[in-house]
Chain A
Amino acid sequence: MSRPALEARGLMKQFGALLATDSVSFALQPGARQALIGPNGAGKTTLINLLTGVIKPTEGHVVLNGQDVTAVSASERVRLGLSRTFQINQLFPHLTPIESLGLAISERNRSGADFWRVAGTRAAIVAEIEDLITRFGLEADMDVPTHRLAYGKQRLLEIALALATRPRVLLLDEPAAGVPEEERQDILAALAALPAEVAILLIEHDMDLVFTFATRISVLVAGRLLTEGDPETIAKDERVRAVYLGEDGHG
């Protein structure tokens, strides 16, 4: 196996007296399907923010494809191939899906500062938008302002947007959160169809989703990495059952 796609080395984050993240180290291999679970308040969001560069760690390093990106800005990390989705939709309410995706693609191929060419007049960009739209089944709503989309469709757009940056590592923050039952299947299908070469870290509460999707699971408790392993091992782990699985009534 080559070097990890994303690596955390001894990440620490202190907010005043609170130690939100306590020496977390793990590695995400290229093409991995890994899940990060943990009870509420375990520090999952803080960890994501540390990885994506929204906040800077008190100690430790983030390494992306072998490059130490601890000091690199969030938007620059995106260009280096680290992308994410948000637990609460972070979309552009008055832009259409086509525009949102076109924007993300232009930004990726560095034509985003172009102020002369009309957006979307390049065939390559149109083709890529088309690819993403069809892959996520957004054809019917693609020219409607995002805020008018059904919630499930918005969740799909959330993932499509992250994918438009062509990441090598994708952090999915509770992609199914709040999606009504009848639209869940679309999300699951979309996750299953994600490009195999992209390393994915799934942060999720929904254990069904975690156990169908992930081949490896990390458990975060109180800012520390409690354990890590394949789904069967985790499911059997007494400590995990005690702090986490028991709460949700999962067996």
Chain B
Amino acid sequence: MTARTSTLCVALAALLAASPALADDNSVTIGMILPMTGPSASTGKQEKAGAELYLQQHGDTVAGKTIVLAVKDDTGAADVTKRLAQDLVANDHAAALMGFGLTPLALAAAPIATEAKVPEIVTAAATASITEKSPFIVRTSFTLPQASAPMAQWALNNGVKKVVTIVTDYGPGVDAEKWFGETFEKGGGTIVERIRAPLKNPDFAPFLQRVADDKPDAVFVFVPSGFGSVFMKQFVERGLDKAGVKLIGTGDVTDDDQLADIGDAALGAVTAHHYSAAHDSPENKAFVAAFEKANAGMRPNFMAVAAYDGMDLVYRALEKTKGDASGPALLAAMKGMSWTSPRGPVSIDPETRDIVQNIYVRKVEKTDGALYNVEFATIPDVKDPYKAGKH
């Protein structure tokens, strides 16, 4: 123990002392906390690639400041997220925190954002209520009510009367179930059954069997990014497509990250979402091309674009404050900011700090030999209905 202890003490002290990033006065550190390992690692990869692409395209200097992007792996565990957030703020003097792959992880960092007065830019987690947990939370991804309510409206307009909902049993899933259901029933539709599948559940077969027994017009689904393919395949395997059951949902189930590989099972699925890699705009074409080039052909998904926009938001805010990187100044600059993202026009609602954006209704189609979510209807400037209802 003795030799080990003394060497250890020296090594520990050295490591602890050495770790603050080269912090000169002119640098602004953005702490990006993501699940880089474990089941949500693909989210982390897309986010990291999106943020890095922005840095690469726009250089690391803005308003006279040098931007340092520090990416940390929280392994998807909330207490680790919290520790990393604390470390980034206290030790690396991060001017903003970014990322947060899942709702509990975004919530974990909220008290630190509040106490340290550092903006927390949520670029993934999509439970509507997250932004209420701290006045310093800003979101560039989306909220589930934002996508679910328009989906219900579209279903009502297109002759769907009976729906079974299947959602993953955690915050975002509950949000999706609630907002789809309420909107749909208010418009005269019927929810036959509401099924919640556990988060750790690779096999949807028993739940889909229930759907088959219920014989609805459509099944509305929310599963976290990554579970879409297994859901789609089992949907077809049950013969639900042949039985005339429409598959509708939020865009998570036809995630661009996986869509190309899901295969024809996904054809015809209709989803409502804020981003598709097939979005027809010059900004998006440039974004997709640059992203695929930088990442060995990997197609960007809504996670990548949210991280890209998160960086964009920080850059724009720094320009507006003329380099003042203090938390309250950045936050003030972010509120009400509007710009053109690869997904279309977006802005930050100054009241709720949540993103306002177009929601597109899309259908999975084969274009140029690959599957894409092809947008065919646009609902412009959608605010998060959950918070809009309160204000």
> In the complex, A touching B, CB below 8 Å?
no
Chain A interface residues (CB < 8 Å from chain B): none
